[in-house]
A and B are shown apart, each in its own frame.
Chain A
């Protein structure tokens, strides 16, 4: 089974994981990391550690791990606590925590935060930056769709986007 349950403190494990993910992200710029290597380094309690194998798993992964990591990236980017980030907030609103209004640079920063969270783990896919500036009225829920659509390469679960 692909899922394992956590027994450790989630906050601590997340902090440790972030540093691991950052170092992994840097490595990925230089060399292609094999799936097995990713699985060992990125083992995070409570998250999918092997790629989902069927539609049900894909939906659980999308609405669980991917959703959680995209929200974590938004929290990191906007310097807002995670529980302040809800689906109907807009990127224009959240950018108050970044120091500059929503614009191309701020969008690039959000893409950077999203990729630092390694949102598509255990797949080695990353988010491509949108080729245009999405409107400041884009909601968090819409941004989750944008991230899903910009996955590159397409994961096995691509067809199960909502």
Chain B
């Protein structure tokens, strides 16, 4: 009696203090043929106590029955353990399904949940070891109920992938051949009921619909494809999907060791769906910023200063449906193409005649073709070749419309640009932070991140060919009527402590058909102070910064002189 009480106390204690297993355990499987339980974790196991694993179940009378077992690592697997050699208190061998010694067999046609408590589990990069409680369902050896597994209706982590077919529910039956379902229900699929059950905090009422068709998966004959009449809804919260097959037509169709009780009304496949609307996922690689500044400009002739406001916007999204990875799948060097629309404006409030600040509005559509160096090759001795210095080559071709602020001077041209990406010429904040986190240290540091939190060196070379489509009668300094200009660009950026960012963008143009001063250049120098810590609010992923910038030189389409010093505010992502 005392030992039973102690066992209960131990179970209670461990149940309370054991961790949330679902976050760490990938699966727990009982293999009846080998009479063993395999527990697989999401990460590798760094440490585990292999003795004193608790294994118990509650029998029909409510009594807790303990089963003893051996726990061992699975050979060649760092993330799983094996429980086997089950025995009762008197060391009599036990089969978890068939029983033995003081353990009764699982009654025919039923399932018994066994609880497992693994002690001292420490997974990779976890701070400390702790007990983990899990359960595993063990079916009876005979008259098992056929199981229906629904393929994941889940776009968590993959929500950005298009084409999740919400008109298909993929079911894998075990115990009944999928052709039986097809034969029984294909003629009248309306008999197969489908329920979408929403949570209490979801205002939507539950939906009851039925199947429009029942087919065998042509790609995988072991699976059934059920087409619901009402497609799977997109919801912010998880919901339950149930596919209910009437049982009577399926009686007597099960394979050996499976059976359906004669009084059963239905066979149900259940899963939890997690289909978040695409709008709630982040759009990758959309460049965006808005900046508004107070600017001081200098007249080149009179050296007189004037104050003016400048407003800038830059928006360059990637069209998700038009981006392809072309050859990465065939073992070749990956090649990709993408379409990137472009909208940029940098305008002030002065008259174009006297304005000495940039006045440019640009629309365009770029087609990007890129080629990656691919994986590093392995030498015959097993070592790796050094990484290629030229990691990626990008060729951009686009059609651009370029005008001044008032759309008085309008140009259209073909823009072609070659952008090489060299090895480690660019590192993002998250890359630098990760490298800092994993760097081996001989002395402890109090710093939470690297001093240089990101940097970029991005050269490019290109050519633009086009012409004026509308001339501005107010300004006369447009150098040429046709556009024929090669250019070289350099984009440099350095961010320190994730707080301040320095950047220089320079473009050098050679105007082939200009009468004089064929070489023009435009440089923009900026200093940004990230103000996320001052305005610590959720702006839907947008960041903000105080901006100082200096613009000097001449830039398309007018090539008018620019000499402006600005201070302002920038919102970006």
Contacts and interface: CB of A to CB of B under 8 A. Distances in A.
A135 B278 CA distance: 13
A162 B152 contact: yes
A93 to B, nearest CB: 4
Interface in A32-52: 45-47
B161 A132 contact: yes
Interface string A62-104: 1110011000000011011001101101101111101111111
Nearest to B126: A86
Interface string B152-188: 1010111011110000001110100000000000000
B421 to A, nearest CB: 5
B29 to A, nearest CB: 5
A80 B439 CA distance: 12
A90 B430 contact: yes
Interface string B318-349: 10110111111111001110100000000000
Nearest to B161: A130
Contacts of A10: 76
A161 B421 CA distance: 37
B355 interface: no
B300 interface: no
Given A96-B427, A138-B157, A155-B220, A109 B334 contact: yes
Question: Which residue, A1, A67, A79, A155, has most C-beta atoms of chain B within 10 A?
Answer: A67
Q: Taking each of B40, B76, B174, which has the highest tally of chain A beta carbons within 10 Å of its own beta carbon?
A: B76
Contact of A101 (B323, B378, B428): B428
Given A104-B336, A154-B223, A142 B156 contact: yes
Interface string B435-461: 100100000000000000000000000
Interface in B25-63: 26-27, 29-31, 33-34, 38, 40, 42-44
Interface string B409-440: 00000000000010110111011111100100
A99 B330 contact: no
Bin the interface of chain B by size.
35 or more
A94 to B, nearest CB: 7
Contacts of A59: 27, 29, 40
Nearest to B382: A15
Nearest to B388: A99
Given A67-B79, A158-B170, A56 B325 contact: no
Interface residues of A, number: 85
A93 B431 contact: yes
Given A55-B149, A149-B161, A158-B223, A93 B334 contact: no
Contacts of A6: 75-76
A116 B170 CA distance: 28
Contact of A131 (B42, B77, B220, B324): B324
Given A55-B174, A112-B331, A131-B162, A101 B427 contact: yes
Contact of A105 (B29, B392, B423): B392
A91 B327 CA distance: 20
Interface in B358-417: 370-372, 374-376, 378, 382, 387, 391-392
A107 B124 contact: no
Contacts of B170: 158-159
Nearest to B387: A99
B430 A108 contact: no
Contacts of B328: 107-109, 111-112, 129
B219 A141 contact: no
B331 A25 contact: yes
B151 interface: yes
Nearest to A101: B428
Contact of B431 (A47, A95, A158): A95
A63 B45 CA distance: 14
A107 B162 CA distance: 16
A67 B220 CA distance: 21
A46 B151 contact: no
A104 B55 CA distance: 48
Given A105-B392, A106-B372, A46 B76 contact: yes
A115 B331 CA distance: 8
Contacts of A139: 157
A27 to B, nearest CB: 11
A137 B431 CA distance: 11
Which of the listed residues A96, A132, A150 has the most CB atoms from chain B within 10 Å of its own CB?
Answer: A132
Nearest to A111: B328
Most buried by A among B29, B327, B328: B328
Nearest to B271: A159
Given A25-B331, A64-B40, A113 B375 contact: yes
Which residue, A59, A99, A139, has most C-beta atoms of chain B within 10 A?
A99
Interface string A138-162: 1101110110011001111011111
Nearest to B330: A29
Contacts of B115: none
Given A29-B331, A162-B152, A94 B434 contact: yes
17 contacts: A68-B79, A92-B430, A93-B431, A108-B328, A108-B336, A111-B328, A112-B374, A130-B325, A132-B320, A135-B281, A141-B42, A150-B161, A153-B220, A154-B217, A159-B170, A159-B171, A162-B27
Given A105-B392, A131-B324, 19 more contacts: A26-B331, A46-B76, A55-B147, A63-B80, A64-B40, A64-B77, A93-B430, A94-B434, A107-B328, A108-B325, A131-B321, A131-B325, A132-B321, A133-B320, A133-B338, A145-B158, A153-B220, A158-B151, A162-B152
